[in-house]
Amino acid sequence: MKKIILFIISFFIIGAAIYNLYPEQKLPTNTEIDYIIVKKSDRQLLAYAKHKLIKTYKISLGDSPVGHKEFEGDEKTPEGFYIINAKNPNSGYHKNLGVSYPNKEDIAKAKALDKLPGGDIKIHGIRNKLGFIGKFQRFFDWTNGCMALTNNEVDELFYAVNIGTKIEIRP
């Protein structure tokens, strides 16, 4: 019985290591991503260049991902049309791309609820010094409303996306 349990545990550990370390297809060199679609319900970020889907990334979202972000602290990822408005190579979460949330409508909705809209919505990697988590971060929603990728994936996007790139976040 002990041998069977040891075999199962070993098999699980080896399988998990292979999953986390197995290389995924890289974004082609010198690709310029000009449009991003996030499909929250599918946990996907789709990167487009010249109207052609170039790569699909698996993402994690805010702790409470269903519905549009209404106010600061609701743990939701916003929905709607925004732009990439910042790039930070020195983020607390590896690197990040800033999303232009909140827009005028978001501010008005939060104000109607007598709340602050929040902000600092990003596409980012894993918290610094925890990069070894790698692809395992995809197994649950853990951000405060951001869209999380592995560090390697955010590196790809960081260099392929320009400030001003449009991002559409769908339910």
Active site residues: 124, 146
Rounded-to-10 torsion of CA 82, 83, 88, 89: 120
φ, ψ for residue 82 (rounded to 5)? -140, -175
Count how many Cα atoms sit within 13 Å of the Cα of residue 156 in the half-sphere of its side chain.
19
Residue for token digits 């197995």?
A: 22
Cα(76)–Cα(93) distance, rounded to whole angstroms?
18
Q: Are 169 and 82 in contact (CB under 8 A)?
A: yes
φ, ψ for residue 74 (rounded to 5)? -80, -5
